[in-house]
Amino acid sequence: MAVTENLSGFLYDFGVSCTAGATTALGILDMPSQVVAGDMVLTTDYVLTALATDFGTLKYEDVITIAGTAYMVRETRFIDDGAFVEIGLQKT
């Protein structure tokens, strides 16, 4: 017998409202900082973790609004078994 999981429970505690087109769902926005160029530059890459069923079809230059702020998609990567995606973003 197949086991059915409700994966949206993983997003309830830290998720924020995300809207792309007609889809609104929860996602977790991370803003990791990284030191580059020989410790001379500090940069921030925005990454959204969400259910693949909600935002797995987003592609380069699509727009998604997260907690009221617009971002442009840079890339969409399926993680682990493909149930979740990590979406690389750029603030518009």
Q: What is the CATH number of the domain that holds 76?
A: 2.40.10
Does residue 45 have a pLDDT over 90?
no
Does residue 90 have a pLDDT over 90?
yes
2 in any annotated domain = no
Lowest mean pLDDT across 19-33, 37-51, 77-91: 37-51
51 in any annotated domain = yes
Does residue 46 have a pLDDT over 90?
yes
Residue 57 structural domain = 7-91
20 in any annotated domain = yes
Name the residue among 80, 83, 63 with its Cα closest to residue 72. 63
1 in any annotated domain = no
Q: Are 55 and 64 in contact (CB under 8 A)?
A: yes
* pLDDT grade for 13, boundaries at 50, 70 and 90: confident
14 in any annotated domain = yes
* pLDDT grade for 3, boundaries at 50, 70 and 90: low
Does residue 59 have a pLDDT over 70?
yes
Task: Please tell me the total count of domains within the chain.
Answer: 1
